Structure formats: structure tokens, C-alpha cells
Structure 1
């Protein structure tokens, strides 16, 4: 057994790698910069984790997803593997301690949010680290053509100059061929090297339904389906409304969105993961980093914003390899709303500038100050204070982020934590002089270890229960000890952060480039159009449409989606149908009547009639006022070849 396979068995309990995992590991071992493309749930993290465990030194893992890095660090630590994370949700003291541990503490993995890579503190410590691999997760973020571009990712290339002999592994679940090439260019690959697993999921059945009464069809779908599932909706309000509707109809359901308290979200997640709740109705805030292999269905109550987002969310179904369903329910109003959303996603330049100025004022950043500073950010409170729409603020921030003026992190659920900042002798003196605190301090020391060396997560409710006190009294004790500089206490927070990579500038100097406004608007329009096309077309296999978007031109029909099943009823093979459809299209270059068309076509008359009727029912052939048939060409312009 190879070292890599023995590590896989020892720590993960698997006897064999999944497809592509071992190839990626071997590619890095051979010294190749490597871009690995694996669909959601394909086991990307095992590639760099197994490789680095087989080598001396530490692996740098750069990812923008704080919740994901925290989950992975926790899981590695549970396996006895030393790992830590540094991100914008930590205090400066915590960041310093973490960098010291990474430099001198024999750690195997250091997870970093991208904005940390460019800090002087990181660069100062880097020389003390024996780095064996640079892993760039969510690598599409480095490409301006990627759907979630982040300028801080561009700073990763500086690591290549500081660590010229260390290979780079870039990983992503969703990238078009254009984005693939740009990732390798931006990461300064020595030579292009892509290892990709087909995005084809043979166990995932795609179904699209156009329904005006979406709620009723949703209920019927959930009633027919087996096992647990996710329903994705586009607003926080809908999560609650739909979950209540499902519960009224005796479906075990709950709702989830980013505005819930961290404890509430944690409970809802746990209830769903354990099977106590069967269906979770959620915004796109749900799912990242949540590992549940036996999800039997994912239903989208309206289209996602892009094929990338849809593929990633739908891909959370059936990770165990068993049959699962990805269902999309839409109405005509959804298509209209998506088209309007393109304009809403790109506010006027003056509005964007006003948002920037309001942010700087809120955080009391003077012109020329604020570089590398991080601030808690409550989007709802900010919107209320300045009487702005949440969507306008969010979209303005995304454009400011592209320009590199600031970055918005994902929400980070940070537990309460503390460290003793006095030595044991001084602590004893304090306890003697302040008898009222003595019992509480002893309780903390009995409950947790390592409090003098590092920040330790604590649970105020547990302390209150053990001490026989109310939680309010526990908070008061902790805050008093903090004010006396006996401990540094950081209460639990669940909030996104705004990071300022640059100092604040005068508003008249703030520039929004064509590249990051007009060009990105055009790019976003293409993504929306592609998602609308996937939703509304009824001629091409759903799986093929998605795979073609991601550059897989030679994919085969899945045979199981709604389009394929309807096509199968015609009793024709793919080749027979394609030939006949092509012949029909050629003969309708000049519109003609139904009977004239039948006469022009070769072969069995019954088959000809079935295909013509199918093409008419699915909107590919239209009947004009003069009763002549005409090939509808607007779908051809959208890239739909008759199937």
C-alpha cells in the first residue's frame, strides 16, 4: 500500500480513493502545479490533506469561506491532526498567537482567508514555516470571469515569489473553460495542467417544471419524494412561509436563512442532519460545509442566479451515489424577475459611491486611514440607518469589492472565547484580594484547560449551570474580569465582516472601471441567460445543457431527466431523432404546411408525425397565421441544438 493510501485508510477509514483524487495527489507529488476540477461532494479536501500528511512541513490552505475552514480545522483536530485557521473574525491577539503556533508548533495545516496573505505579519512569519504545498480552494475567485471574483486572491501570486519551489494546487467545483485558463494564468502555473472529473452525475435526475401554482406542485413533489431534502428559495420571507405551508400539510419542515441567531441556525442544521427535520427550506446561505451524504432531493423554488450556483446547490443531493432528484420549479414571473435583476445587480455609479462613503462614515474611517482594518457588519442595521434597500447595498459592495476597495466576508459564527492574560502568581494575588471572584475563576479553570497559552472556546450557559447562577450573572463576571485585565474575553458573535485592504480615499477619487462594471454586467447577463435557457428549453437533455456550459461538449444524454423521458416515449434512438429533427429543420427553411412537410421527409410516416408533433408541443416548430409551419430560430441563437 502506498504512503498516500495508508494515510487515507489511517485517518479517513477508506481503502481506496475516489476517482481523480489519487491522480491529483500524484501530480502534486511530481512537482506539478495542478488545477483540480471536481464537482461538489467529490472529496476535494482529501487531495491536499493526504498529500501534506505524507510530507514534512505545513500546508497553506487559502479559502474565502470562514465556516468551511472552521469545519475542516475542527474535523482535522478530531483526527489528531494539528490544524488552525486565521481569518478576519479573530482578534489581533488571536491572530498573533495563531501565527506563532504555525511557525513553531509543528502544525500540518494553516487555513487562511485571502486578505490575510498580503499582511506584513503573515510575511514575517512565513520565513519560519516549512511550507510543503499552497492550496487555493474556491480557485474560481481568482478569475475576473469567475462568478465570485475577489481581488485579494490576486495577492496569492506573491507567495509564488516567496516560495518559488512549492507546488500550487488550485481546486474548484465550478469553472468554465475560460475560467480554467484564467486561474492557471493568474496563479502563474509553470505549465498548464488541469485534472478534471466529468461533472456528469449518473445518479442525479434533473427535472424542470413550469407551474404558475408553484406551491402546490412543491407540496406534491415533497409528498412523492422519499428521504430528506432541501428546498432553495430566493428570499428569507419565503423560507418561513413555505416551511409553515409544508408543516400544515404534515411534512416535517423547518426554515433557515442568514439572519437567524447562530444558536438557532445550529439547532436547525443539527435537527435536519440527524433526520429529526425532513425538509429544510433555505436561502443559498444553507449547505456550504454541511456534510450530509443521503440527501434525496434538492428543489429550487425558482431558478438560481447562474448555472454555477444551480449546479453547486443541486449537487448537494445524492452524494452517497444513490438515486436523487434535482427539481426546478419556475413560473413566467420568475423569468421576468431574473431579467430585471440584472439591472438591480448593477446600481448607478453615484449610488455605489454613496454606499462606500456611508460605510466609511459608519466605521469612522478618516480619509487616508483604515488600511487592513476589519469591522463587524450588520447589513440590516446599515440599510435601516441609511434608508437604503438591502439588495442595493449588497450589490454595491460586490462592485466595490471587485475594484479592491473593500471585501465582504461570509458570516462567521465565532463562539465565546477567553484567555488569561496574567500569570498564575498574579492571578492568585487577584483571587486573594477579590474573594467574590475566587469561586468563579476556579470554576473556569476546572472547566477548561490551556487558558494561559491560547484562546479557549467557552459556553456561558454551561458555566451558569455548573455555578448555579443565571447567565446574566456569568456575563457580568466575565466582563468584570475582562475590565480588570485578568482575562481577555470575546463574546460570541455571528456576523459578516468588512475588510478594507486600502485606506479610505476621497469620494471624487473613487473609480469604477468599465472592466468591473459594464463588462461584468454583460458577463452576468450571459449567466442569467444561460440559466433561463436551462429552465425554459425542452429539447436538450438537462444534464447535457449543464455539462455543455462547463465545456463538456461531447457528453451523452442522461436518459433520466424530464426531457429525456419525454423523448424516450417517442420510441426513437437519439441518432434517429437527431437525423429526423435536422431534416425537419432544413425543410422548414421555407415555411410550409404540415402535409407538405410530411411529403418532403423520408422514412416511416408515423415516426415523422410523432417527431413533428413533439417539436410543436415543445415550441421548436410554430404554426403561423397562414397555417404554415416554421422553425423557431431564437432557441438556436441561444445555443440549443435540436435533440
Structure 2
């Protein structure tokens, strides 16, 4: 227990972070940690979570162990602390047992103040043993929502953190996150076994962030118009890795400085693309949700979503990466009618039933030839794509089922490393045809690829190798050999998939009896998922209530106050009749035909209002529609 004055804390803040005052809640959280209390804190994106454990780590005797979900984020934070003159360390991914022993010796000798670990590291007996021997000041769990099945970004590996409670029962814990509903908060506290916990719950009210939602049939056109307004630091979110790469390429062709990021990239590619964006050589980052957690860039002015995010927690965390400098910033969502249908379909398709889990479990036993009642202790290499193709299973559902079986210690399923197989043709089509004429054994493979992967001459395409093997009746190993040869003779660029998933059965096979324990929880979780999906869809369909008000109410901050800057609030303040807006539209159309997007931007109204105006003008025969253009009759 350490008594530290506010002036001493501010002195450290000024010395290492060059800040003269704390942000809301930070000082109270730090004081509770110094008093050795278990502490739980929600600080919305940009609220300065890391300082809440870094300052007490400097003041307390011993080493603070920080559990963080992303290797890239860990490396970034360690490097940043070192530049400030603070002793921090992590364990490199390729460290063997001897390396780990030496690193822990260094922690004691150099009196390292912060040791960053990924949750996967906690599985290693050598790590567990060395942590017991270490003088630990407290445990900080960053992005704590990842431990909760109620959370928007559940990661099974985070459940391993409970091991630390068993190993170190008297060490205080700090759990911090940017977004968590009341149910998520309760489960975080329960799973981490936080005792007499001190809670610090920040507000989700971002007064400088304007939420805007556009609905348009021409999404790319509107995106380019928005990006073309000002050259500002931007993040664009999509859910599909290939779509991310293709959009970044299309934007570059339009003259925008864009790069991309997704989980399938190598660490080198991630670092290169992140550096280009972070230094603003390329101001637009197109990314999946893998990008952003822990990204500390204060001058992001615009975050764009081109699809409906999977949850409001995920949306507010991603949108909240704009405007951390407290200057005016925008969260812009661009949707089409098809996005609403797609979201509803995915919500239905992704529901995991007990029958789904049982089917996957039985197929796994069949796949690895495990008899009823048998217990095999060896760990198997596992290729989920090949497994799903063999048994005609949905990959997303199968992955969810495997994680659920892992949660309940029926399996030990580790997604150690995965990238995808990409190829791009770098020769002319004539050269490729000439090659086929002289190498007939390649003809089926090359023709199948060209037929199924359009645009492969312009962009790298992700190949589904098991499906390609099924179509061509060529074995997976032979496909890789052929692609490798085509790369060697410089006809294609080819990056082979690395797949090092492992799977180990932890209990004897008893089918239903083994997995009945999951059944009750699945019903509850599916109910929660359905409730979240309905609230998310309602938010993005809403055209009447202040968007900020809806977000605050979702996170149990009851308010009736309007933000005044979202698209709904701005629309409501205009109070202009359809007739008046129609007159303004006719003036615009007198000069030249306009698209829907051009009219929406020029008239400064949302898509719902514009649809009403255009319907009125069409019915009154003032205008007509010619493909995507509206023009005077």
C-alpha cells in the first residue's frame, strides 16, 4: 500500500508523458491500484487507459504484468515506454525455454517495471513457474472485454488469465476496457474473480464526435466524394480481408493515398502499412476490425464503416478512434439497402445451436478416428478449411463451435498462426496460355483459377486451396508444388498459407454426455446475441432519434438530451418543407443532371429526406430519372 500525493502523480505525468493534468477518472484509478485494491475501469476510446497501469507500475515495488491481446500492440507499447526511459519488456514470439529463463533473470536484475504478455503465453508451464518466482506489483488486464462471452470481441485465450488468480491469489488486479455493457462488466468481474472491486465507469458521451449515417445505392461514389472534401487522417472499416485490399487499390487508382491492414498479413507487412499510415505518408487506412485496438493516434478525423458492424460495442469502439484530440471529428456509416438484408441473414446463419456443436464434435472424433470412450492425449495439427470442406461444414460456425469446446476444456484448440494463400498473375494472358500448351499437366489448374478468380491479373486473390483441390481433383500438396514452380519461373506471385492450428482432446469421447454442459449456456448466449443484433439493426435503421442519445442509452447512461451535431439533430433543426428543398433541387438540376449522392451532399440532407423530395418531384413530373442521374423534364 502506497500513499502518494496528487502533486507526485502529476509530476510523473508531466515528466514521462508531457501532460499537465489527468483525464477524467485516471487519478482515482491510479490511487485505487496504489492502495492495492482490485479495480475495474471503463474508459471510452481515447480516455488514456494505459497510463492507469503505467504510472502505478513506476511507483510500486516489483513488476507489473500487463496482459494484452495483440503482439503488434505489445511491441508498440514496449518501444514507446523505452523511448520515455521506462524499463519495459515482452517475450519475443520465437523464444525457447532457455531464452525465457534468461529474460526473467533480466527482469529481476534490471528491475523491469512492466512485463507485457499475450494471454496465450499463460498456457506455458515455464511462464507460470517464472511468474510465481517474480516480485509482481499487480496484474493489469488490458482490453478486458475480450474475456467475456457477452463482450463484442470475445477471445477464448483470455479465459486463461484466471490461471493467474490461482498462481498469485494475493496480487491485485486492474481490468480496463473501452466498451462494456452491464452484463459484460458483471462477467469480467466474475471471471477475473475481482474481490471488493473498486469501479470507475467513464461516460460514452463524445461531444466532439458527429455520428452520420448515409443510405445510397452508389456507396463507392459517395465514399470518394466524402474523402475528396478534405485530406484528413481516416480509417475505413470493412469485414472481409479481400474487400479491404480491393478497396485500398481502387482508392489508389482514384488518386487517394491509401493502405490496408488485416489479420492475414505478415508481421512485416502489418508494420510497414501501419507505419505508412501513422506517419501520414498514406492518410487513409482500409482495414478489418483487426486494426485499431490500442492504436494511439490522436488526430484521426474520420472513421468510415461501409457495412453494419456486428455490435454497437464494436461500432462505438471503432468510431471512437476519431477525435481523440478532442477536436471535431466524424463517424460516417455508408450503407445500401442490401447491407440491412445481409446483416439479418448473417445474424441468423451465425447462430450456434447445441446440434451444431455436437455435429462438429462428432465429426472431429470421426476425422481423427477416436473410438467411443477412448482418450488420446496427443496434440493434432489441424487445418480447419480442409476439415470443413471434407464434412461440408460452415467455417464460421465450426470455428465458433471449436472455441466453445475449448472454453469448456473439452478440447484444447489453439489458433497459433494463420495466413492465407494469395496469388497474382504477373505475366500476360498470352504467356500463360503458351505455358499451358507446353505443360499440359498445369492446364486444368490454371484454367480453373482463371475461371473462378476474376481480376487476378490486377490484384492478389485469396485461393481456397481445399475447394480448388476438389474442383481440379489435384491433391493439395501437388497444387502447392505447381504454384511454387509458377512462382519460380516468374509467371505468378505466390504466398503459401501458413497453418499451424493444433487440437487436443482433453476428455474421453462420450458424445452428448461430454458436451451437455454447454447446452444451457448456448441458449442464454444465443438470446443475448439476438438481442444485440436487434438493437444494432435498430440503431442503423433509426431516422428520428439523436444517434448519440441511443448510444448512451445502450450503455445504461439514461439521457433525453440531443447531441446537436449528428445527422438526425442537424436534420431536425432545419425544419424546411419538402417544397422548399424541392425548389433548391430544381435549381441544381437546371445546371446539369445530378446523382443521388451529389444531391444529398449539395442539399446537405440525409438519404431519407432526399428520397421524399425526389418522390415528390417525380410524382409532380418536374424531373425524371435516367439510370443513376436525375434531370429536369
- Please give the TM-score of this superposition, normalised by the length of structure 2: 0.69
Q: Which runs of 5+ in 1 are unaligned?
A: 414-492, 572-613, 620-643
1: distance between equivalents of 2:231 and 2:214? 19
Q: Residue 242 of structure 2 aligns with which residue?
A: 237
- Does the 8 Å contact 1:86/1:113 carry over to 2? no
Flag the 1:309–1:272 CA change in 2: closer, same or farther, 3 A.
same
Which residue in the other structure is 2:262 paired with?
Answer: 257
Distance 1:510 1:361 in 2: 15
* Aligned match of 1:429: none
Specify whether residues 543 and 22 from structure 1 end up closer, same or farther in structure 2 by C-alpha distance, changes over 3 A only. same
Tell me what 1:199 maps to.
Answer: 204
What residue in structure 1 maps to residue 322 of structure 2?
317
Instruction: Classify 1:26/1:234 alpha carbon distance in 2 versus 1 (closer, same or farther; 3 Å).
Output: same
Give the distance between the partners of 1:374 and 1:5, measured in 2 at CA: 53
Q: Gaps spanning 5+ residues in structure 2: where?
A: 1-5, 420-495, 577-605, 612-633
CA distance in 1, matches of 2:115, 2:366: 34
CA distance in 2, matches of 1:199, 1:497: 39
Q: Which of these residues, 78, 94, 103, is aligned with residue 73 of structure 1?
A: 78
What is the CA RMSD across the aligned residues, in angstroms?
Answer: 3.7
Give the aligned partner of residue 506 of structure 2. 503
Which of the residues 270, 281, 292 maps onto 2:297? 292
Q: Structure 1's 283 and 120: CA in aligned 2 closer, same or farther, altered over 3 A? A: closer
User: 1:584 maps to what in 2?
Assistant: none
Alpha-carbon distance between aligned partners in 1 of 2:167 and 2:369, rounded to the nearest angstrom: 35
Q: Contact (CA 8 Å) 2:418, 2:497: kept in 1 or not?
A: yes
Alignment match, 1:425: none
Indicate conservation of the 8 Å contact 2:412/2:506, yes or no.
Answer: no
- Could you say if the C-alpha distance between residues 158 and 278 of structure 1 is closer, same or farther in structure 2, counting changes exceeding 3 Å? closer
Partners of 1:199 and 1:547 within 8 A in 2: yes
Query: 2:281 aligns to what?
Result: 276
Q: Secondary structure at the match of 1:548?
A: helix
Equivalent-residue separation in structure 1 for 2:11 and 2:504 (angstroms): 43
SS in 2 for 1:290: coil
1:1-56 deviations in whole A, cap 9, x for unaligned? 73322222222222322222112101212232211110122211111111011111
Describe how 1:520-599 pairs up with structure 2 within 5 A.
520-554=525-559, 556-570=561-575
- The aligned residue for residue 187 of structure 2 is 182
Distance in 2 (alpha carbons) for counterparts of 1:374 and 1:130: 37
Find the partner of 1:27 among 13, 27, 32.
32
Tell me if structure 1 keeps the 8 A contact 2:40–2:175.
yes
- Could you list the per-position Cα deviations for residues 427-472 of structure 1 after superposition, in whole angstroms to 9, with x for gaps in the alignment? xxxxxxxxxxxxxxxxxxxxxxxxxxxxxxxxxxxxxxxxxxxxxx
Correspondent of 2:7 among 2, 21, 38: 2
Secondary structure at the aligned position of 2:186 is classed as: helix
CA distance in 1, matches of 2:61, 2:259: 46
| 1:399 corresponds to | 404
CA gap 1:324/1:64 in 2 versus in 1, 3 angstroms: same
**C-alpha separation between the residues in 1 aligned to 2:173 and 2:228?**
47
Provide the C-alpha distance between the structure 1 equivalents of 2:273 and 2:159, rounded to a whole number of angstroms. 37
Q: Displacement of 1:160 after TM fit?
A: 4.0
- CA distance in 2: counterparts of 1:345 and 1:363, whole angstroms: 26
In the alignment, what sits opposite 2:143? 138
Q: Deviations over 1:121-180 (max 9, x none)?
A: 344323422111111222223334223345554554454455444322110111012222
Confirm or deny: 8 A CA contact 2:370 2:509 kept in the other structure. no
Q: State the distance in 1 between where 2:229 and 2:524 align.
A: 44
What TM-score results when the alignment is normalised by the length of structure 1?
A: 0.68
> Do 2:262 and 2:288's aligned partners in 1 also have CA atoms closer than 8 Å?
yes
Post-superposition offset of 1:296? 1.3
* Equivalent runs, 1:95-174 vs 2, <5 Å: 95-102=100-107, 105-117=110-122, 119-150=124-155, 153-154=158-159, 156-157=161-162, 159-160=164-165, 162-174=167-179
Q: What's the counterpart of residue 433 of structure 1?
A: none
Asked if structure 1 preserves the Cα contact closer than 8 Å seen for 2:66 and 2:139, the reply is yes
CA distance in 2, matches of 1:400, 1:55: 39
Using the alignment, how far apart are the partners of 2:369 and 2:261 within structure 1? 33
Report how many aligned residue pairs link the two structures.
496
CA distance in 2, matches of 1:330, 1:296: 20
Matched, 1:330 2:335: yes
Q: Which SS does the other structure have where 1:557 is aligned?
A: coil
Give the distance between the partners of 1:497 and 1:87, measured in 2 at CA: 18
Kept in 2: contact 1:88–1:113 (CA 8 A) = no
- Which is further off, 26-35 or 87-96? 87-96
Distance 1:320 1:495 in 2: 39
- The residue number in structure 2 matching 1:221 is 226
CA distance in 2, matches of 1:359, 1:301: 37
For the structure 1 residues 152 and 295, does the alpha-carbon distance in structure 2 shift closer, same or farther, using more than 3 Å as the test? closer
Aligned residue among 16, 19, 22 for 1:11: 16
Counterpart Cα distance in 2 of 1:109 and 1:504: 37
Go from structure 1 to structure 2 and tell me whether the alpha carbon gap of 1:374 and 1:234 turns closer, same or farther (over 3 Å shift).
same
